[in-house]
Amino acid sequence: MGFFIRRLHRAIEQLYHKQQSTAIKTPFKLYRGQGLLEKHFETLKQAKGRLMSFNNFLSTSRNRDLSLKKITSPSTALNQGSVGVLFVMTIDPTLCASTSTSFADIKSDSQEKYQGDEILFSTHTIFRIDKIERITDDHTNTLWEVYLTFVGNNDNDLRTYTVQMQKELNSLAIGWSRLARIFIKLRKFEKLETLYEYVLKNTSSATDKENYCDQLGCMFEIMENYPKALSSYEKSSRILSHNHSPNHLNLAASYSNIGALYGKMNENKKMLASYEILLQVRKQSLPPNHPDLAASYRKIGTAYSKILDYTQALSAFQRTLGIREKTLSLSHPDLAASYHNMDMIYAKMQEYSKALSYFERVLSIWQKFLPSTDENVLQLKKILIV
């Protein structure tokens, strides 16, 4: 497969250089019609104004009507739960030349003769999403036009993203961890799972196994496959317990992951149990006013609140507040967060005068670093009738 991809890429490059002497030099439009799952289209709409990459070879046409027909004709009817998207792409040939982006007119070589004027781009062509508009159609409301503009290496967002990604990758260990990080960035989860399965079978390092299990759990959590995520996190925790002391801080982090996952699964009592172990580990390893201890008490308070034990929740939130009042400035956002925990728990306990007192403290801090038009500030003012 890799050999075929290289051959096709080089063939496009050769055609590109051969055709440039007679090609137009001014910007032109190309079209591509395809179906997208509704959830993928929603993601696309949310990315308006940002960049997108076609990570495969990109087949386009100069003919708008033929491209539109691919998503409207009876022979290519969309599946239920899909929408038809006509990509309208503005291509600047001079920008393509400066970024070594290859494309070729393959009308004479294409097997899809009906498409006409087919332009094939090599992989990883990057565009900016300019606008998204509905296509008026008497038979369906699931047709959309997505306007794209080709971007080059000088695009500011692309440069910023590239630099940031390079920094993140350079901060990681070399080898499998770096490759795994790339797969996570590209959301290539199937490849990532295969990679982790391979390295887990072939590494003898307990530290590596623990890290890979933890990363695998994170991947499954992103995919919302919570049972598999839990299995991976628990395996990581077992490896840690076997190879480290009971108060090792990595073990605390492991129980933090497990507790948060139980919360997403609405297993609130199990979440509480995990956070209590997290707290015990940190209490043995950290000074009494450490911010991680404050965070641990807050997690426990949240868990108690979810099982409706407000007395225990209040006790935990008070411990968090006690640490933060000793270590943070009076206008610190984390202190406001603790006051907010207190006002909410007092409100649930129907102790409204105490709740009001903490609401006022929250507002006092928020007004120092949030704009007056911020939704949270306005909502709190309504509560306090300010």
Q: Which residue has the tokens 């990509």?
A: 87
Read off the amino acid at residue 255. Y
Q: What is the pLDDT of residue 174?
A: 47
Question: For residues 142 and 77, what is the distance between their CA atoms, to the nearest angstrom?
Answer: 11
Which of 243, 259, 292 represents a domain boundary (last residue)? 243
In a domain? residue 344: no
Q: Are 33 and 85 in contact (CB under 8 A)?
A: yes
Q: What is the CATH number of the domain that holds 201?
A: 1.25.40
What percent of the chain shows pLDDT beyond 70? 78
The pLDDT tens digits for 167-221 are 554 554 445 565 566 566 656 666 667 776 776 776 777 777 777 778 778 878 8
Same domain membership, residue 124 and residue 219? no
Domain boundary among 159, 188, 207: 159
* Confidence check: pLDDT of 60 > 70: yes
Domain of residue 105, residue span: 2-159
Q: What is the rounded distance in angstroms from the CA atom of residue 312 to the CA atom of residue 303?
A: 10
Which of 63-77, 252-266, 359-373 is modeled with the greatest confidence?
A: 252-266
- pLDDT for the residue numbered 73: 64
Q: What is the pLDDT of residues 335-362, one digit of tens each?
A: 989 999 999 999 999 998 999 898 888 8
Q: Is the pLDDT of residue 293 over 90?
A: yes
* Total Cβ atoms within 10 A of residue 357: 14
Residues 76 and 121 in one domain: yes
Which residues are within 8 A (CB) of 317 and not within 5 positions of it... i.e. 6 or more apart? 297, 298, 301, 338, 341, 342, 345
Name residues whose C-beta falls within 8 Å of residue 327's C-beta, 6 or more positions apart in sequence.
289, 291, 294
